Amino acid sequence: MTVRYRPELNAISPYQPGKPIADVQRELGLERVIKLASNENPLGFSPRVREAVLQALEQANFYPDGNATLLKEKIAEKYGVAPEMVLPTCGSDEMVDLIAKTFIEPGSQVIMAEVTFPRYQITSLMMGADLQIVPMKDLGYDLGGFKEVLTPQTRLVWLCNPNNPTGSFFTRGELLDLLESVSPETLVVYDEAYYEFATHPEYPRDSIELVQKYPNMLVLRTLSKAYGLAGLRLGFTIGHPALLGLINRIRNPFNVTSLTQAAALAALDDEEFLARTVANNNAGKEYLYGQLERLGLPYGKTEANHIMFDSRRDGQAVFQALLRRGVIIRPVGVPRYSTWLRVSIGTAEENRVFIQALEEVLAELAPLS
């Protein structure tokens, strides 16, 4: 090919999404397939969403409200901030992309963890960042390691808490220590995609309040996980209006569809659905911990809706062998963790099916010595 393109792309591999159920059914001729690969909500979504989306559909000939005014107001009210501090996007994926485009220049120093959400790396490299990757410590973030590589010139720090895929978390004290350590000119992106699932008493529950004290911090949330709306694509960010104003300059004007705005308005009200989701997650977590222990496999304690475990076998081989049994999970895909996989916590039945398939796969594949 002779068309020229940006050289930054040479360092980038495409993001690998979880394999869709229909693909596995078609490729392997399987009828029953369960997907525990993308940290989706196994209970579906709030029943209020269907009605709201059907109503919004009647107006589908009109462009959506490009300012998402009602949604901003709803989020602002729910979280006790001014609407100017809220920016909804097409999933938090879009926000990660917009942040990189807005704040990273070629050569900007950017810091992220070794095992975390891969979009931070792709988008940073896309913008030509000088990316510093801090190794994990005991399967969690090593914020001390972040502090060692911080400089007054650091442009951006990517934090994910609870972290995907490890499920690990860092405490409020550790977060505050890092916020105090960075220069006020450094942007701290604090991604809380799994916020609603965290139950540990030391998990920082007041991140949104911290934004008032640290105007260089952006808090990212999503309705794809606990609210079950991954297919409709809604993320929102809370931050200083000046930061959001910059991002807003390059945002696609109609980035959140009218159906999604309506769905989100309905979903955010349904505390009962959220409570059921978290209860299912807590029960599934305990069950999976017990089973992984019975099978003698190391795993990381999770504050999210997924568990990372060590199969002691080649992760790709385990992934493929589970696929053949109709169970889709995900290898971690980081060289130092080539035997580790991530499984999303499903319904009680899905968790049982996964464990049964895993047990068969462990018998089929010899452990690596």
Ligand X SMILES: Cc1ncc(COP(=O)(O)O)c(C=O)c1O
Residues of this chain that interact with ligand X (CB under 6 A) are: 39, 91-93, 117, 160, 164, 191, 193, 222, 224, 230, 235
Other CB atoms closer than 10 Å to residue 318's CB: what's the count? 23
Q: Which residues of 59-96 are buried (b: 16+ CB within 10 A; e: fewer)?
A: eeeeebeeebeebbebbbeebebebebbbbbbbbbbbb
| Max CA pair span of the chain | 61
Min dist. Cβ of residue 58 to ligand X (A) = 26
Pick from 355, 289, 344: nearest CA to 322: 355
Question: Nearest approach, Cβ of 272 to ligand X (angstroms)?
Answer: 22
Looking at the Cβ atoms of 53 and 160, the one nearer to ligand X is 160
Q: Least Å distance between CB 217 and ligand X?
A: 16
Nearer to ligand X, 94 or 174 (CB): 94
Measured from the CB atom, the residue of 308 and 355 that comes closer to ligand X is: 308
* Residue with Cβ nearer ligand X (91 or 128): 91
Nearer to ligand X, 93 or 270 (CB): 93
Residue nearest to ligand X (CB): 91
Beta partners for 106? none
User: Residue 319 or residue 321: which is nearer to ligand X going by CB?
Assistant: 319
* Closest distance of CB 218 from ligand X, Å: 12
Residue placing its CB nearer to ligand X in the complex, 117 or 214: 117
Q: How far is the CB of 112 from ligand X (least distance, A)?
A: 11
Q: How far is the CB of 222 from ligand X (least distance, A)?
A: 3
Q: How far is the CB of 159 from ligand X (least distance, A)?
A: 10
- Toward ligand X, which CB reaches closer, 191 or 303? 191
Which of residues 91 and 326 has its CB atom nearest to ligand X in the complex? 91
Supply 23's token pair. 């693909």
CB of 359 to ligand X, least distance (A): 27
Least separation in angstroms between CB 225 and ligand X: 7
Report d(CA 255, CA 63) in Å as an integer: 10
